[in-house]
Amino acid sequence: MKAELEDFNKGIEAFEISRAEEVELFRLKYLSKKGELNDLFEKFKLVPLNVKKEMGQLLNLIKQKAENKWQEAKAEFDIKTNEIKISEIDSSLPSELSYTGSRHPLKIIENEVIEIFNKLGFVYSEGPEIEDDWHNFSALNFPANHPARDMQDTFFINGDIALRTHTSSVQVRLMEKGKPPIRAIMPGRVYRNEAISARANCFFHQVEGIYIDKRVSFADLKQTLFYFINELFGKDVKIRFRPSYFPFTEPSAEMDISCLLCSGKGCNVCKHTGWLEILGCGMIDPNVLASNKIDAEEYSGFAFGMGIERIAMLKFDIKDLRTYFNNDIRFLSQFESL
Ligand code: PHE
């Protein structure tokens, strides 16, 4: 064993490391798992007890020596390689273009909508996506057996708890917290139990708004939405209101805009009607105000709600809802400059 240790010692002393590659060769020959040092440790297990101590000390000594030599050489050649690399850099070359991400088209539209309503004094407000029956339905005047509460539309979690089906639930939270005047806009994700297709998804995004104050009228609602549409789609777009029904507004209406593609003449997109449905709205039902402890004699208000996916589809000419959520970089990178 002693002779082998001495051979090993001579070997490492004689090994000349003059190039970066030789640092690794040295490690492989002596220090790696299959290297000579490991063999010596294997053999050391069989050394007779009377010389075990002496051999052990020697073995540790040369192990240390081999490791030191390797570490020193490694440090030296690492520095040299770096030096070469630095000198090889051509600082006159143009730099690589750094990749910048883009905003999601839904976020672009949501931000635009928020900004327009901010100018009219509507403040941003949010609420939870997991809601209770009171905030999503009861406080909004949904009768107990209203079909919207049905399992087909709503994702129930357990008992009274469900994924919100609209952001009107945030209106309730605002009414119960604050005193009029209340003027707020509430964007957010909502969920409905629908089969996924090009035109429907089990979740989507809404922006809803409310304004409650003394003497708020339907004329205020019209003017507010007219201003909004002109800001979003331009001055030439016309609006019209059709009577509709929502449990929480009375009277209720759906608002259409003149078709952006054919300017009202009739085309495939507007199904030859010249109009595109864009949002639901109405005067807040006095029952809703009363449920939220707002005096309906003193105050009135309006509410409206729209789907962001639909607006983005019209603005960016997107044909299939599913493209929003596929995370296809070819789709998303088209919005880089917006
Ligand atoms: N909450 C309604 C929906 O989700 C939209 C709406 C909001 C309608 C406010 C009227 C007033 O369809």
Give 27 Cα–ligand 1 centroid separation in angstroms. 72
Same domain, 55 and 134: no
Helix (H) or strand (E) holding 296: none
170-194: burial string, b at 16+ Cβ within 10 Å, e else: bbbbbbeeeebebbbbbbbebbbee
The reply to whether 58 and 137 lie within a common domain is no
Same domain (yes/no): 39, 149: no
Q: What is the pLDDT of residues 72-122, one digit of tens each?
A: 998 888 877 666 676 777 888 888 877 778 899 999 999 999 999 999 999
145 and 284 both lie in a single domain: yes
Q: Encode pLDDT of 37-46 as tens digits.
A: 999 999 999 9
**Element of type H or E holding 203:** strand 203-213
pLDDT at 338 over 80: no
- Whether residues 72 and 187 share a domain: the answer is no
From 86, 120, 136, the end of a domain falls on 86
pLDDT, greater one: 189 or 152:
189
Evaluate whether residue 94 is within a structural domain: no
314, 246: one domain: yes
Q: What is the mean pLDDT of residues 245-250?
A: 94
| Domain co-membership, 128 together with 59 | no
| Domain final residue pick, 51, 86, 121 | 86
Measured CA to CA, the distance from residue 71 to residue 66 in angstroms comes to 9
- For 208, the enclosing helix (H) or strand (E) is strand 203-213
Q: 198-227 in b/e burial notation, b at 16+ Cβ within 10 A?
A: eeebeebbbbbbbbbeeebeeebbbebbee
- Which among 53, 86, 119 is the end of a domain? 86
pLDDT at residue 131 in the model? 96
Number of domains in the chain: 2
pTM value is 0.71
**Whether 8 contacts 39, CB under 8 Å:** no
Q: Which atom of ligand 1 is nearest to the CA of 252?
A: 10
Q: How far is CA 97 from CA 100, 249, 330, in A?
A: 9, 53, 18
**Which ligand 1 atom is at minimum distance from the Cα of 206?**
4
Residue 40 lies in a domain: yes
Across the chain, mean pLDDT equals 91
Q: With CA atoms as reference, report the closest residue to 309 among 125, 112, 105.
A: 105
For 160-180, the pLDDT digits (tens) are 999 999 999 999 999 998 899
| pLDDT number for residue 306 | 97
Cβ of 209 less than 6 Å from ligand 1: no
If asked whether residues 155 and 260 sit together in one domain, one would say yes
Examine the pLDDT at 65 and tell me if it is beyond 70. yes
pLDDT at residue 284, as a whole number:
97
Question: Whats the size of the chain, residue-wise?
Answer: 338
